[in-house]
Structure 1
Amino acid sequence: MATSASVSSSAAMRFTGAAAVVVGGLVAAVTGPLELSKGSWAAAYLVLVVGVAQVAMGSARQHWRKAGRAAPGWWQFGLWNLGNFAVIGGTLAGVTIVVILGSAALVAALVIAFLVTLRIDTAPRRVPLIAYRILLVILAVSIPVGMVLSAIRNV
C-alpha cells in the first residue's frame, strides 16, 4: 500500500542546505588541485550561502512553524535556490545580468523569511529571533556587495 509523504519546506531547506555543504566541500577538494580560478569562491559560496544560510532558514522555519503558512516557505525555498543557481552560474560564466537577476530572487526570499518573523511572539524567543534577523540582514547586505563585485570583475 502506497502512502503519501508530505515534505515541509523547512525540511527541504535543511536537506538542500546540508547537501550544498557537502557539495561545497567536494568542489573545494576538486578545484584546489586543478587550480581553477573561481573554485575557492564557488566552494565557499556553496557552503556558506547555499548551505549554512539555508539550513539556518529551514531550522528557523521549523522552530517557528506556527508563525507562517506553508506556501510562503515553498516560495522562499524556490527563490533561494533559483537565485543561488543564477548567481553561481552567472559568476562562473561572467554574465553580470544573470548575477543581478539571481540576486533579486535572493532578496525576495529574504523578504519572505523576514516577514514570517513579524508574526512570531517575541517574548519567549527574543534572543534566537534577534540572531536570526541579524543573519537575514547580513545576507541582505552581502547581496549588493556581490553584485558590485560581479560587475567590476566582468567589465
Structure 2
Amino acid sequence: MAKKKTVQDSIHIGISAADRQAIAQGLSQLLADSYSLFLMTHNFHWNVTGPQFNSLHTMFEMQYTELFTAVDEIAERIRALGHAAPGSFKQFAALASFEIPDGGLSAEAMIQQLVLGQEAVVRTARAVFPIAEPANDQPTLDLLTRRMDLHEKNAWMLRALLA
C-alpha cells in the first residue's frame, strides 16, 4: 500500500526541494555557529573579571540576548523550508565552524575569542548566499544580510576594545 501524500510532503513555495535542502543545510551550519557563539558569549558574561567587568558584563549580555532571538529565527526558517533544525549540542558541535574555548580566559582573551566567533558567523552566513540567491529565496537572503550586518558590527566593536 502506497503512503498517502500529505501537505507536508509537497511544500510548494517556488523553491525546488533540492534548493530547499541545500539552503537548510547552510542555515543549519549558521544555526550551529550562532548557538555556539551564544553559549560562548553567555559563559563569558558569567565569568568575566577585571577592571572592565561592568562594561563587558553588560555588553556580553546584550550580545547573547540578541543571539538567543536569532537562533530561533534561523531555526524557524529551516522549518519553513521543510527541514528539521538541529538542536543538540552534539549536532551543533559537528556543524559549527569553530570550537568554544574552555574557561580560565582573561577578559582580553575573551574579547579576542568573541571577535573570532563573530567573524566565523559572518563567513558561515556569507557562504549560504550563493545557494539562496539563485533559488530566489528572499526571506533567507534577508535573514543572512541582517545577521552579517550585526555580527560585522559586533566584531568591530569588540576589536575596538583591544586597540
TM-score of the superposed pair, with normalisation by structure 1: 0.50
Give the number of the structure whose alpha-carbon radius of gyration is greater. Answer: 2
Q: Which has the higher contact order (CA 8 A, sep 6+)?
A: 2
More helix as a share of residues: 1
